[in-house]
Amino acid sequence: MEDERKDILIIGGGPGGYVAAIRAAQLGAEVALIEKDTLGGTCLNRGCIPTKCFLQSASVLQQVRKADSFGILVESSSLDFKAVSARKDKVVRRSVDALSLLMAKNKITVIKGSAAIAGWGKVQVVGDEQRMIKANKVIIATGSQPASLPIEGINQQGVIDSDEALAIEQVPKSMIIIGGGVIGLEFAQIFHRMNTKVTVIEMMPQVLPNEDTEIAQMLEEILTGGGIDIYTSTQVHSIGANEQGDKTVLFTTPQGEGKLTANKVLIAVGRSPYIKDLGLEKLGIALDRRRIIVNERMETNATDVYAIGDVIGGVMLAHVATAEGRCAAQNAMGIDSEMDYRAVPRCIWTSPEVAAVGLTEKEARGRYDNVRVGKFPFRGSGKALIFDETDGIVKIITEEKYGQILGAHIIGPRATNLIAEATLAIKLGATVEDIKQTMHAHPTLSEAFWEASLDVSGETIHQ
């Protein structure tokens, strides 16, 4: 087949790649997007969307179980896991179909196949047929894959990763989850609410190791109080199997050696950049371990080659990849753009939800001489009382001189929605006084953020 030429070629159709494609097309480029699997990447097919579908089903099940507290009598409730999985698949299909329509609307050529850089401005595609695509600019958005650990027995049947957990056909009676970060805790609550006996093992001293210690400790207490066993500061040594085929996990805690047995073991220790067979060496593209090195304009060291999303490491979140995709596409089209990572919201869809933006209290105290903190508990929120979801707090961290907001941390109902106000505040350099002087509707959960801002100076009303 004769070589094809495009203005911009994008490798990978996840939330970074497809957004870059659409933005470049909006700016007048002829764009081709290569995807070896399904449009939407990990987020849409094996990450954000399907996990939140499972979490929503688990949440509805939990609501039904406590319906009597709202004056609603439900005679019985049971889990139909096949129906839960079918709903998840339906939501994913609809999202993929909608994305395909967006590609067509923006006149983006979508090519299914594996891509490898063949030289400057040249990418070889291997799919149903081989073809060579030439492009003025190339954007690499190949994402990531589940990370693994050097643990004996990790590759045996019954030890699964997050991708496999989403494709599981029946709910196990028991599960050990290695990793107490976002992925591990979300799956812990999914399966726990579906009547699986769940144990989480985390190597670091706290779950959610990158989040504010106070918030992480509160979540751990809530999860353990609900029946999930959690081991922190614990190192896994090996995974074996007994005569019944169940998995045995050997580990060391600060108190000594331990052993646990479960039907399944889920490895949830994050993800690593995917660069396999990309041909990066053809252009001498610089790497730091497995991640592609870029500058603030998303440029690699190779002329006219950009990289975005999980493949560059950093904050591996879909909305970060989206922002990086826009940035790369605009630079590729001659619009000078730089990434700003000061205000990146971080969300965990457990119940209660956790969300954060900016610095943790420990980070803030390490960078500033004087820091002030305001807090407000959801038990003082009328709306939280209406929801019967009063666990958690809003926490705002400011520097003392000007009152500029440095970080915000929320654990409680709808935290992942509430964090938007804090994210905008940090992006705009807002002060705590700006929040105090902004009216918040009543009764809403957002009042808790306002009350926390008042608490910075000891002016809170409902505490």
**Which residues are tagged catalytic?**
442
> Cα separations (Å) of 202 from 31, 251, 359?
43, 11, 23
CA distances in angstroms from 156 to 126, 241, 270, listed in the order given: 31, 9, 19
Q: Which residue has the tokens 């090519």?
A: 111
Strands 405-412 and 393-399, how do they pair? Answer: antiparallel
Query: Could you identify the residue written with the tokens 């995709």?
Result: 325
CA dist 165 and 51 (Å) reads 9
If 0-12 CB within 10 Å is exposed, 13-18 middle and 19+ buried, where does residue 3 land? exposed
**First-to-last CA distance in the chain?**
72
Tokens standing for 330?
């605009």
Collapsed DSSP state (helix, strand, coil) of residue 37: coil
Give yes or no for a contact between 178 and 266, defined as CB atoms under 8 angstroms apart: yes
Give 245's DSSP letter: S
- Containing 354, the helix (H) or strand (E) segment is strand 353-358
Q: How far is CA 253 from CA 108, 234, 285, 348, in A?
A: 53, 5, 42, 26
d(CA 355, CA 60): 21
Q: How far apart are CA 82 and CA 100, in angstroms?
A: 27
The C-alpha atoms of residue 136 and residue 9 are separated, in whole angstroms, by: 8
Is 115 in contact with 278 (CB distance < 8 Å)? yes
